Amino acid sequence: MKNLTVNQIINAEFRVSQSSPVLKPWGGSIVVADPSLLTPENSHDGRWHMFFHTTFGLCRCESDDGVHFEKPVKVTNRAMRPNINRIDGIYYLFYERTRPLFFNALNVVNLAKWNSEICVIKSTDLKSWSKPEPVIINTRDYETSERGTEISNPFLLQENGINRLYYSCGMTFIEDCGFCEPTHISFAESKNIDCGYTSAKTPIISPDKNDPYLNLCSGCLKVYKLSDGYIGIQNGIYEKNGKSHSAILLLTSDDGLHFDFRKILVEPAMHGANAWMNQFVYASHLVRYGNTLRLYFNARDTSDMIRGRECIGFAQADL
């Protein structure tokens, strides 16, 4: 990514692959969501590895081409919204650690408050993992709402000896969905990868009632350092014509902290083969694969909490 320019990303035309969705819910889960990937050049075995969460925890699956994935394997329970990184031969898997499933269910019907934090586990082979260690816990008032405390969607950026974890926080109840989405986006920094993070005093992105793609809440943000600046890829949550939606937005920045909207990358698609992404396109992960960019994301067909299903697919752009 660091060899690309901001204008190259702005000018890239992303199209949803006809191979999408590449992963659908199974085994009693109604979602597969929040993909985070290792490309072959970034894995120890030269294969694709995709991390994601289901209703029952965090999983990993492998592929030779990033399109056809083998049977997923469970990584850990009480886990969602992963971010995988390989640094000096060690894999660092950041994720949102929640309370047990029973308490999460009670939160949906507003009988218990949500309580989550960001943890990290480490591995050298993607099979044996260390015990989870908290890296970002609740220290700021903006991370808490009347429905509880949520600290989620970690994404690591390393620069000049500093580790910066972008994360989502706060909880906004979405009426037609019947569940909450993250209110704000913030960040925390440390000189160490796996400990010592201090969160910013104020969020860097918050909902704006006058913004057509951000008038409900902030979703999540993934930030990439390029040769001449930064890009942010965000899924804003918004209301349109009486329904909630989510679209994937491209932002740019000079410092990785202050962002400007540039364009829509992927919007909900309501017809034909893309009906699986009818109402929401959510969290994404941008990777480079040869002379192409792939933007993996999860999408939801309807806001109905019972009938809705979330799948994972990708959009691709040529460089």
pLDDT in tens, 275-309: 999 999 999 999 999 999 999 999 999 999 889 99
Closest CA to 180 of 144, 128, 213, 139: 144
The whole-number average pLDDT for the span 192-218 is 98
The whole-number average pLDDT for the span 102-110 is 54
> What's the rounded Cα separation, in Å, for the pair 125 and 259?
36
Among positive and negative, which fits the CA dihedral 155, 206, 249, 313?
positive
> What's the rounded Cα separation, in Å, for the pair 53 and 83?
11
pTM: 0.96
Q: What are the C-alpha distances in Å from 195 to residues 60, 121, 152?
A: 24, 11, 16
pLDDT at 109 over 60: no
> What's the rounded Cα separation, in Å, for the pair 148 and 108?
11
What is the chain's percent helix, strand, coil content, to nearest 5?
Answer: 10, 50, 40
| Structural domains present in the chain | 6-318 (2.115.10.20)
* 313 backbone φψ class: left, alpha, beta (φ>0; ψ -120 to 50): beta
Per-residue confidence (pLDDT) for residue 39, from 0 to 100 = 98
The answer to whether residues 183 and 170 touch, using CB atoms and an 8 Å cutoff, is: yes
Per-residue confidence (pLDDT) for residue 274, from 0 to 100 = 80
